[in-house]
Amino acid sequence: MIYQNWDENLFVKVTENNSYLAHMHRQIEIFYVLDGAIEITISGQKMCLEKGMVSIAFPNIVHETHTPLHSRAVMIIFSLDFLPDFATEFHMQRPRRPFITSLCEPEQFSTLVSGLLENVQKNTDIRIAKGYLYILTAMILSQMPLIRQENVSGGICQDISNYLSQHFTEEISLSQLADALGYSKYHISHIFKERFGCSYSDYLRQIRAEHAMGLLTHSNLSVTDICFSSGFSSMRSFYRAFRAVYGTAPGTVR
C-alpha cells in the first residue's frame, strides 16, 4: 500500500485496462466504466464493475483496481477543496457500499461525464468542469447511503505510510511505530482497521513484498539477499508473504 500525493485539483482521463496496487490519497477517486469489466476494491469491499457502473473512493481510504481481461473507464480524481460544498460528507461519512451498479439516470450521467472529459481535454474554463463535477458528485451521493465515521486525520495516515516506507526493512512492532509517531498502539491499530483496511502486520507484509518484487525485476541480487534486504526474518516468511500478495513464488518472477 502506498500513499500518493496529487498536486492537481482535478484529474480526468480515459484509462485502459487499469490495474493498480493498493493505495490511498487525500483526494476523491471516481471510476465510471465505459466498456469491459474492472475489479475495484475499496476498504476491503470488492466489486467487478461493468459498463455503466460507478465506484467512489473517499479520502484516505485504501483502494485498488484490477482488470481481468479488458476495461475502459473514465477516472476522475479531485481534491476536497475543489468541491467544498461536499466537505461534510467526505470528512465525516463514508459509503456503506462504495459502488453503484444501476444508475437512476444513466443517460444524463453519461452525458455529464462526456462533458467533463471534453472540458478538461480542451482546457477551457475550469468553472464549467467544476459545474459538471458538482452534478456528478451529487448524483452519486444521492444514490449511495452514507454512514458516519470517526474523523481520523489524513495526516496521521500519511505519517504512518511515510514512516514505514523508511523503516519497513527493520524489525519494528506496532508499539514501536506508535511510540515513534506519538500515539497509543490502540489508536494506531484502529487507524489501520478503519482507514487502511488491514492489520498492521498485513500492511508491513505488503510493502515488504512490493519492495522484494522491485528487486526481483530490477536487480541481480539473489533471492536470499532480496529476502533479508526487504525486511523478512526468514525465507519461509518471505515465500509465504510473497505468495499471499502475488499468488506465486519469488523464483517464478525471474
- What is the pLDDT at residue 25? 86
Which 3 state secondary structure label does DSSP give 206? Answer: helix
Q: Could you give phi then psi for residue 70, rounded to 5 degrees?
A: -150, 140
For residue 134, give the H/E element and its range: helix 126-142
Task: Answer whether 80's CB lies under 8 Å from 58's CB.
Answer: no
According to the model, what pLDDT value does residue 154 have? 61
pLDDT digits (tens, 9 = 90+) for 88-133: 899 889 999 999 999 999 999 999 999 999 999 998 889 999 999 9
pTM over 0.75: no
C-alpha grid cell, residue 40: 475495484
Write down the mean pLDDT value for the chain. Answer: 91
For residue 29 the three cell numbers come to 477517486
Give residue-wise pLDDT tens across range 70-88: 999 999 999 988 999 999 8
pLDDT of residue 89: 93
Residue for cell digits 502475488? 246
Neighbours of 183 (CB within 10 A): 17
Query: What is the second-level CATH architecture of the domain 2-148?
Result: Sandwich (2.60)
Alpha helices (H) in 20-105, listed in sequence order = 87-92
Distance CA 164, CA 177 (A): 8
- CA 27 – CA 36 distance, rounded (Å): 26
To which residue does cell 485496462 refer? 17
In 116-193 the beta strands, taken as DSSP E runs, fall at 146-148
Distances (CA, A) of 33 to 18, 85, 245: 11, 26, 26
Smallest CA-to-CA distance from 132 within 32, 48, 57 is with 32
Domain positions in the chain: 2-148, 154-252
CATH for 154-252? 1.10.10.60
CATH topology agreement for domains 2-148 and 154-252: no
C-alpha cell belonging to residue 190: 484502529
- Do residues 137 and 120 lie in contact, with contact meaning Cβ atoms separated by under 8 Å? no
Cα distance between residue 158 and residue 100, in whole Å: 29
Please state the φ and ψ torsions of residue 214, each to the nearest 5 degrees.
Answer: -60, -40
pLDDT in tens, 11-40: 999 999 999 988 888 899 999 999 999 999
> What distance lies between CA 154 and its chain's CA centroid?
13
In the chain, what is the greatest distance between 2 CA atoms, to the nearest angstrom? 57
